[in-house]
Chains A and B, each alone.
Chain A
Amino acid sequence: MADLATRTLPLSGFHGGSGAAALSVASPATRISLRAKPDAVAALSGVLGLSLPTKAKTSASSNGRYALWLGPDEWLVIDENEADLMAAVASGNVLHSATDISHRNTAIIVKGRGAAVAINGGCPQDLSLAAFPVGACSRTVLAKAEIVLLRTAEDTFRVECWRSFSPYVSTLLAEAAEDAGN
């Protein structure tokens, strides 16, 4: 019997940024891409233990589990405690599609008074608290990369991207974080 394979995380050990916007890698999490029609939302919310948001640019969270509205029938569900989300939604027994994307995505945490300015180094969205309050989320772009942005606190954002884009995203954020401090 072979040894159990170990995980190699993208951006392993990466941290950086500036006094205005510190960058760090989010810890491993489970993630699913959840697709369902409106009539399944209640049941899926029930088994996930949070209310799947139905309004654009909003998210719900509960005990380290986040559900981000990405489209009228699409959510990104993230569980920081690495719970089995595929099993959880399957137990709802309603029509839906779930795909495990735990390893597809990785996330960078941008934290500090200049966090929004740093992200605006490549993201054209209005990240003021009025337009993008705590809990707001969006599938958007960071220059040439697609990202999913979630504001977890007034000065903190979670930037989700596909793993192979993470060197680009982190390099761009590091430069922008530096400039946000100027």
Chain B
Amino acid sequence: MSGANRIPGAGRLTPAKTARFFFDGKSFAALEGDTVASVLLANGVHLVGRSFKYHRPRGIVSAGAEEPNALIGVERDAARKQPNVRATVQDVFDGMKVISQNRWPSLAFDVGAVNNLLAPFFAAGFYYKTFMWPKQAWKHVYEPQIRAAAGLGVSPTEDDTDHYSSRYAHCDVLVIGAGVAGLSAALAAAKTGARVIICDEQPEVGGALHYDKSVTIDGQDGYAWAQATAANLAKMDNVTVLPRTTAFGYYAQNFVGLNERVTEHLAKPDKKLPRERLWQVRAKRVIIATGAIERHMVFANNDRPGIMLASAARTFLNHFGVAVGKKVGVYTANDSAYEAAFDLKRAGITIAAIVDSREQPGEAVLAEARSLGIDVLAGHAVVDTGGKLRVSSMSVARNGGGGARKIAIDALLMSAGWTPSVHMFSQSRGKVAYDAETQRFLPGTYAQDCLSVGACNGTNDLQATIEESLAAGELMSNASGFTASQKLALQGANAFAWTGGMAGAAEGAGPDTTVKAFIDFQNDVCAKDIRLAVREGMHSIEHIKRFTTNGMATDQGKLSNIHGLAIAAETLGREIPKVGLTTFRAPYTPVTFGTLINHSRGELFDPTRKTPMHALEEAQGAVFEDVGQWKRAWYYPRAGEDMHQAVNRECKTVRDVAGIFDASTLGKIEVVGPDAAEFLNLIYTNSWDTLKPGRCRYGIMLREDGFVYDDGVVGRMAEDRFHVTTTTGGAARVMNHMEDYLQTEFPHLNVWLTSATEQWAVIAVQGPKAREIIEPLVEGIDLSNEAFPHMSVREGKVCGVPTRLFRMSFTGETGFEVNVPADFGPAVWAAISERTEALGGCAYGTEAMHILRAEKGYIIVGQDTDGTVTPDDASLGWAVGKKKADFVGIRGLRRPDLVADGRKQLVGLLTKDPAVVLEEGAQIVANPNQPLPMTMIGHVTSAYWSENCGRSIALALVAGGKAKIGQTLYVPMPDKTIAVEVSDMVFFDKEGGRING
């Protein structure tokens, strides 16, 4: 037998299928289909946690997602631990470890419970009032203490070993909730042929049919009908049935997030299965069938373990076969709790009494209670409870006063009525409307294409729910163009129609009392806290909520919001709708980070882009660096070399012999059309109509504000075709920038842009022997200096495949950039590499490339410029066409502050001690002895050791820099101040003869 409180013959679980799990180290036997809560209750365990603030002993309150108290940690192994799982929704699996939370050293004896005795000091708003001063104490005392005390559960510290999946889906009708309403709606929609997705947070469909055994649909047991209906729906091609799937967020345009828990209930999940699956559903129409949640009664000490919702007790009995007590009391303001008493009584449990706050309970339930011999105390209240770790008595008094009588119980069921679950409706930005007669907020004005049906729409009657839902299913399908061939009809019947319900504090917990009558169990908010908040001047429910933290726990006030509102309204002397209702926000119930993001871990976190030659470079020993999404060869260390030595060798080899470099990541844009030159005239500062086919030009591109945006070499392949290159990092945004201007400012031009970055593998060959290296590989191009001068481009063949061969240089050496269709890159790289090494050259990486270009004073946009640098600031004024009438940024360049004296200008810096290499980003001052804070006149943008110069070199942006050439400036560092001399930007081959070699 799996627990002393199992009632033979009760419930729907199969006794033959068992599992074993551990709660705080103690072993329990469970049945397949049990939740942690149902097993604990089967074994008489009600105490499952401690409350957040007062550490009061707490038990299981509900049997569903609304559970505020029973938060547990679930462990599979060291890596797979999940805190704050609601015990009422966690299926038991064999071998699972469950740990209670927020207690030390143990659940039964918790040191933190001293807070309960100190409760008078922890009134609402306590934090705001107490930790005001001294100011220093915040940082060192209050905040660390509060942080240590705050939060529930313990996060796992190891990497999650599970995998997760994500899926987009579309449907005509999404049905949220699979109770009677949801299933009826889905059935009607499915029969029209519309694509239907129906999801439900529970392991099985059925909703309220889990507990309400009295329901029949077309004469069939309600729960059995639900299972059969779901099975039939699942067989239909146009229907997806998703149990264990919570619709947690309702976003714009019927975009709904679903969290499917695929393996959380399995002892040994198939490794292929994702732990959780995120569904992102775009639905043409949504039917919200989320039911209603029972409210608890607000009375003194209503939080002892063993006090729970009446519907929960019914679920535990009718679904799990578990009696929550042996002598059970009921405290209600509503008929529904009577049925819990009836079911328990019929199962042989003693019902101590039904205490009903109403003078006149519903006649039908009253009659049934009498016939079952249950004592009903109408017009009475439970004014207190007794018991330490579990409720042992209730004190009952006549409404309006009089002596209280103590009745011994071991469980107390309560119901203050039902709160329609308008969460999804509210998240869809629908406006709720208050129904004064039933004291409920119901869907009012719709903002999206959705419809609420059943209990969440305020429809109580079973048959009315069925008819409303069938109609909704058909109507919402019609909107997508599907119609039913025949009208569906279902006949539902149940035992009792319910009346009654109340919101706010019950008798004995009213305005003049100071008892602990909890409204928010998880955040320990009592009725008196709401009143205190009002007295202290909080008149909006939004303020009251934040002052008291009512409804701000992980259950987001599923039980407490309406009570809090009613108490606030009563205290303020206003109508409930005048006080307002707080907004419902996603997620409906907590969603793990795993669901949201773990499908994009590791390789799938972000694309890693590699050039066609990556594998060859790897084989050559390259160390790679990340440049945006790209992996670029950084340097190629040889045996025994560190980075510094490798880079020095590479730099030296390029200038002495030659080097080969992978430049494939540079952005390439093919600009084609009769107006291509005119377009480039407008995009770049230089002029392009004078550039002849076969020649190249370095171009500068500005933003509208006149600052440098990107640069690159552009080759004219034909009258109407340009091969534009951009920086690696700028490739995508430059393309967008150009396309933006083309479409919005220059739509009259006949020109088109195509990204060709990845069409070409680019192999730069640089150095005195560059020509000698490629010569035997090239066909159809005269490589001589005369026929093919610097800044030219030719088409021909290399290694027998087509090439666009550029004569250009980013090193100041004789240079070629061999462009071949990307698939040929590796073979051509191998051939050129072989030649290079045979002639004494080597492959070089991005670090050497950076140094070689700095030796020549070539800037890198984004490193030596920062978005506030004009062409003139960067000594690139020569690249601005003085005679041009228009280009992007021409007006910006004329702004007074862009032409003023004293702008920061790019210059070279030479440290007085040539061995000292500056730090990039270091600030520059004129006088190192000035008082702090010093006036900073610029900063270092690039700084390297130059093996070719035999000293350090640097580029810097310095205010009025060009006029300071020859002057001494200072770079203060934490440990020393470095003296530097301002120089021009060219450090090597100042005459520039080598490039034309």
- B-binding residues in A (CB < 8 A): 1-10, 28, 33, 35, 73, 95, 97-105, 117, 120-126, 128, 131, 143-145, 162-165, 167-168, 171-172, 175-176, 178-179, 181-182
Contacts and interface: CB of A to CB of B under 8 A. Distances in A.
The 5 closest A-B pairs by CB, nearest first: A5-B827, A164-B609, A4-B800, A35-B752, A97-B752
Contacts of B799: 2-5
A72 B701 CA distance: 28
Interface stretch (B108-116, B585-593, B598-606): B598-606
A118 to B, nearest CB: 9
13 contacts: A3-B799, A4-B799, A4-B801, A5-B824, A5-B831, A10-B823, A99-B754, A103-B821, A104-B756, A120-B167, A120-B169, A121-B165, A175-B599
Contacts of A99: 670, 672, 754, 756, 759
B261 to A, nearest CB: 14
B167 A179 contact: yes
A6 B827 contact: yes
Given A102-B759, A103-B822, A124 B168 contact: yes
B604 A172 contact: yes
B167 A117 contact: yes
Contacts of A1: 776, 779, 800
B777 interface: yes
B848 to A, nearest CB: 23
B757 to A, nearest CB: 8
A106 B161 CA distance: 32
Given A100-B821, A121-B166, 15 more contacts: A3-B799, A3-B831, A5-B827, A73-B752, A95-B674, A97-B672, A121-B167, A143-B600, A145-B607, A164-B610, A164-B611, A165-B607, A178-B272, A179-B274, A182-B273
Contacts of A145: 607
B784 to A, nearest CB: 19
A100 B827 contact: no
Contacts of A175: 163, 165, 599, 604
A180 B834 CA distance: 47
A40 to B, nearest CB: 11
| Most chain B CB within a 10 A radius of its CB, from A2, A4, A105 | A2
Interface centre among A28, A145, A175 (most CB of B within 10 A): A175
Nearest to A35: B752
B927 interface: no
B273 A2 contact: no
A33 B604 contact: no
A126 B758 contact: no
Contacts of B673: 95, 97
What is the interface of chain A mostly: helix, strand, loop, or mixed? loop
A101 B821 CA distance: 9
Interface in B277-320: 277, 280, 282
A103 B804 CA distance: 14
B165 A2 contact: no
Contacts of A179: 165, 167, 274, 277
Contacts of A98: 672
Nearest to A121: B167
A30 to B, nearest CB: 10
Contacts of B220: none
Nearest to A130: B195
Contacts of B599: 175
Interface in B726-761: 750-752, 754-760
Nearest to B800: A4
B828 interface: yes
A2 B776 contact: yes
B448 to A, nearest CB: 18
Interface of B: 163, 165-170, 195, 262, 272-274, 277, 280, 282, 599-600, 603-604, 606-612, 629-630, 670, 672-674, 750-752, 754-760, 776-777, 779, 798-801, 820-828, 831
Contacts of A165: 607, 609
Nearest to B272: A178
A125 to B, nearest CB: 8
Contacts of B163: 175
Contacts of A4: 799-801
Given A101-B756, A167-B608, A5 B828 contact: yes
A7 B272 contact: no
Nearest to B170: A126
B759 A104 contact: yes
Contacts of B756: 99, 101, 104
A9 B166 contact: no
Contact of B758 (A3, A28, A122, A164): A164
Contacts of A126: 170, 282
A144 B165 contact: no
A134 to B, nearest CB: 18
Most A-side CB within 10 Å, residue of B168, B606, B751 = B168
Nearest to A101: B759
A144 B824 contact: no
B604 A164 contact: no
A175 B799 CA distance: 39
B793 to A, nearest CB: 16
Contacts of A8: 612, 823-827
Contacts of A33: 754
Nearest to A172: B604
Contacts of B273: 182
Contacts of A163: 612, 758, 822
Contacts of A162: 757-758
A102 B821 contact: yes
A105 B758 CA distance: 8
Contacts of B670: 99
B610 A5 contact: no
A182 B163 CA distance: 13
B626 to A, nearest CB: 13
A57 to B, nearest CB: 15
A144 to B, nearest CB: 6
B604 A7 contact: no
Nearest to B676: A97
A100 B795 CA distance: 14
B730 to A, nearest CB: 16
Contacts of B607: 144-145, 164-165, 167-168
Contacts of A97: 672-673, 751-752, 754
A141 to B, nearest CB: 10
Contacts of B170: 126, 128, 131
Contacts of B612: 8, 10, 163
A9 B272 contact: no
Interface core residue of B758, B826, B828 (most chain A CB under 10 Å): B758
B672 A103 contact: no
B298 to A, nearest CB: 45
Nearest to B277: A179
Contacts of A120: 167-169
Contacts of B759: 99-104
Contacts of A101: 754, 756, 759
B800 A3 contact: yes
Nearest to A171: B603
A171 B274 contact: no
B166 A28 contact: no
A5 B800 contact: yes
A103 B758 contact: yes
Contacts of B603: 167-168, 171
Contacts of B758: 103-105, 162-164
A144 B610 CA distance: 16
Contact of A143 (B277, B604, B674, B776): B604
